[in-house]
Structure 1
Amino acid sequence: MSDLPFLVAGGGIGGLAAALGLAGTGRAVRLFEQAPAFEEVGAGLQMSPNGVRALRALGAWEAVAPSCVIPSEIHMRDGRTGALLQRIRLGKGFEERFGAPYRVCHRADLLAGLLAVGRGTGRIELNTGRHATAMEEHEGTARLVLDSGEMAAGAAVIAADGIRSGLRAAIAGNVAPVPRRVTLYRALVPLEKVPPEIEADCVTLWLCPGGHVVHYPVSNWRSFNILAAADGDGRDAGWHAPATSGEVARRFSGACEELESLFAAPAAWLRWPGADLPQLPRWSHGNLALLGDAAHASLPFLAQGAVMALEDAAVLARETAAQPSAASAFRAYQDQRKPRTARIQEQSRRMSRIYHASGALALARNLTLNLASPSFALGRLEWIYRWTPEAAA
């Protein structure tokens, strides 16, 4: 394998995790981020046990854990009546079952942890304000073309530049995100501003006709993250357009009093269209590879988007250490990751239909949740949560 550095395009969670994993194998890495600074847009994320394992494999869990929140339970509620449908305790029994904890955190805190560990390796060159516009292979050398006209050469290129990747075409052709007729809203409020009727120490999922709401504390109990998803295209004004509390409340007409009070709490909301990617024919070509949302963006309804990127990075690093060439490592990584992420994508679409059900389907869903034991409910997530970096997938 060439001694040239690996090149990573994209300085979000996936790009930094990939760089960190590669540095852990002894490789030098040059990372290029188009923004002037490393900062993660978005708000909270759920760090399920498989994500904790991926972070441990990357050597970053200890840096991230202090900023995470340990929620007491997961609650599922009827968004119209407020009735509790299902509760799952997240204590010792949960950790014993899955071999790792469940946490919630802010994306910026995860990014900061990855960045701190990455800087400490001494193997990662971090470049900001450098936009990669194309990637290619030439006579066995992988190259990134930057908007400045500069050409960076390396042993391989990993494109981790998100769902709207500008580099994906070099591997998979012109593939655009697929709108899924759902509008997503997010808000972040200080914890002390959370209405008293909201159980702020839980991860709570409210199921409504035509939509759902998820909320939980983040940033070591300083802030409260709210995500709402409503059926319908709405106005597509970009990925981070402002919305109002009145707009969110209107999309959830008929919600219970607890939800109505929550919708009024944020000073600001952001809105973006829900979309994912179709299954790509391939993620790698020679010494070029895709990672994270650039390869397999999904709707957020299984809370696995960032975690899948962390898993990608752990597997990519493992295969780079084990294989004789970057090309063979990328093929092995692709073959192992594609089936799992395709299932995440499909199941995320399916969950939107279940979460947003109305009428008889909603009644059947609620009855099932009421009758099911917490152990049975968790059993449906075993295939996600029990993943380990050593497994073939």
Structure 2
Amino acid sequence: MPRPVSAHIAVVGGGIGGLATALAVARAGSRVTLVEKAVQFGEIGAGLQLAPNASAALAELGVLDAVRERAVAPPRLVMMDALTGDQVTSLDLRSDSYRERFEHPYLVSHRTDLHAALLTACEQHPYVSLHTGRTVIRAQQDTTGVRLSFAEGHEDLAADAVVAADGLHSRLRQALVGDAAPVCSRYVAFRGALPAERMTGRMSKHAASEAVMVWAGPRMHLVQYPVRRGELYNQVAVFESDSYTPHSDDWGTEAELEERFAGTCQAVRDALPLISRDRRWPLYDRAPLAQWVYGRIALLGDAAHPMLQYLAQGACQALEDALALGHALEQSSSLDDAFAEYASIRSPRASRIQTNARRFGEICHLEGMGATLRNVLLASRSPEDFDDIAWVWTPAAAPAQTL
């Protein structure tokens, strides 16, 4: 078996992917310095879904128990028709079929709770050093390492290698790849979590069920589920804007939100006034990227594979990235080999999920006869049939160690 790589790795970005990477790399035996441009660590947004591939990653990172303390394990995933209010299909997450096929639970969590669990684990690990208020403006590399420079005037950081986990608008990706801006899907999301007791009438019934509800409609959908031990109820309303223009922010407005959901069933209309309007989130992705590694710099998470949210795999895939990099460092004798192994394991799978997330969004947002045919086809599925989704929820196996 090759001797594990022991190096100094700099991680750029203190989100979920960056913290998970710092933890995985440190647990593999390398020293980590993580730099975050914000003045303090934190996450914005609301809930997220953690499929069993994410739960498996969290278990290996040693934080699953901490996440489960505040998360909810929903009993079902349910697709509803947003216009008629009829159930289309569901998956039973507590069935024998689920337990036989997937070792770990399906969880829903507030983003801040997951982030806090990872941050605490990093703070407690002796190999991890965390720094905020550091905006990377330059990365200079040679065959021996990388030097990062910061806008705030901090002393340069020298490391053996760098992992760019700096998100959708990654500066390091732009410097390395030079590709165009992320692709706007013309869809926008309004999201937020509110106290569960505010869910009344028809909404309270769904909230009490603890199921993940997806109300699919023409060019729009609503997602609902409880988080933080059921104390909060997460809602996300998504729709395609007819007024999208690439160089303007005057689209995807509240007025459009109301107009697009006006023809939905009563349960969806009841939920609409309680959807957070504090911020709108335009939805972006990119085409799959063939190259993830550039010398001593590797891309990770949204910097490598930003995807639309329709398979609920954005955070899950970043967690898989982190584990794969940790495994590669443990099982390789050089950084070059470790980075190459990481990319070869992760790129094909993440690219496939990126592409299929777009396709699932198209299915979710079908109109007219297309929606009718979708509903008829899905209605015949058993709640214990996981064949279509199992490949997404099952991470690629780590390569076996060579003796």
TM-score, normalization by structure 2 = 0.91
Q: Given that residues 77 and 213 in structure 2 are in contact (C-alpha distance below 8 angstroms), is that contact kept between their aligned partners in structure 1?
A: yes
Question: Contact 1:239–1:272 at 8 Å: present in 2 too?
Answer: no
Residue 324 of structure 1 aligns to a residue whose secondary structure is coil
Distance 1:122 1:333 in 2: 24
Tell me, what secondary structure is at the counterpart of 1:8? strand
Of 151, 167, 174, the residue aligned with 1:169 is: 174
Is the aligned partner of 1:51 residue 2:54?
A: yes
The corresponding residue for 2:117 is 113
| Deviation at residue 121 of structure 1 after TM alignment | 1.1
Seen in structure 2, the aligned counterparts of structure 1 residues 134 and 147 have a Cα distance that, compared at 3 Å, is: same
- Work out whether residues 47 and 227 of structure 2, in 8 Å CA contact, stay in contact via their aligned partners in 1: yes
| Distance (Å, rounded) in 2 between the aligned partners of 1:286 and 1:309 | 21
Q: Deviation digits for residues 168-199 of structure 1, max 9, x if unmatched? A: 13432234201112122212211111233120
2:225 is the counterpart of 1:222: no
Say whether the 8 Å CA contact 2:137–2:148 is kept in structure 1.
Answer: yes
Shift of 1:133: 1.9
Whether the 8 Å contact between 1:159 and 1:167 is mirrored in structure 2 is yes
What amino acid maps onto 1:314 in structure 2? L
Partners in 2 of 1:241 and 1:382 — Cα distance?
A: 40
Q: Structure 2 vs 1, CA of residues 262 and 309 (structure 1 numbering), >3 Å: closer, same or farther?
A: same
Contact 1:160 1:294 in 2 (8 A): yes
Q: Say if 2:53 is the partner of 1:69.
A: no
State the match for 1:145 in structure 2.
Answer: 149
Q: Residue 244 of structure 2 contacts residue 252 of structure 2 at CA under 8 Å; is this kept in 1? A: no
| 1:178 paired residue among 167, 176, 183 | 183
1:339 is displaced (CA, Å) by: 0.8
Q: Which moved more, 1:175-184 or 1:32-41?
A: 175-184
User: What is the rounded CA distance, in whole Å, between the counterparts of 2:248 and 2:342 in structure 1?
Assistant: 30
Question: Between the two proteins, what is the percent identity of the paired residues?
Answer: 38
Find out whether 1:89 has 2:92 as its counterpart.
Answer: yes
Unaligned runs of 5+ in 1: none
Alpha carbons of structure 1 residues 232 and 373: separation in structure 2 relative to 1, 3 Å = same
> Which residues of structure 2 form unaligned runs of 5+?
none
Match of 1:5 in 2: 8
After TM superposition, where is structure 1 displaced by more than 4 Å over at least 4 residues in a row? 1-4, 233-247
- The correspondence for 1:206, drawn from 210, 215, 218, is 215
Q: For 1:297, give the aligned amino acid.
A: P
2:107 to 103, 113, 136: 103
* Partner Cα distance (2:160, 2:319) in 1: 22
Q: Is the 8 A contact 1:243 1:270 kept in 2?
A: no
Does residue 193 of structure 1 match 2:198? yes
The 3 A distance-change label for structure 1 pair 227 and 145 is same
- Bigger Cα displacement from structure 2, 215-224 vs 104-113: 215-224
- CA distance 1:118–1:349, change in 2 (3 Å): same
TM-score (norm 1): 0.94
Whole-Å separation in 2 of the counterparts to 1:297 and 1:207: 23
**Secondary structure, in 3 states, of the residue corresponding to 2:186?**
strand
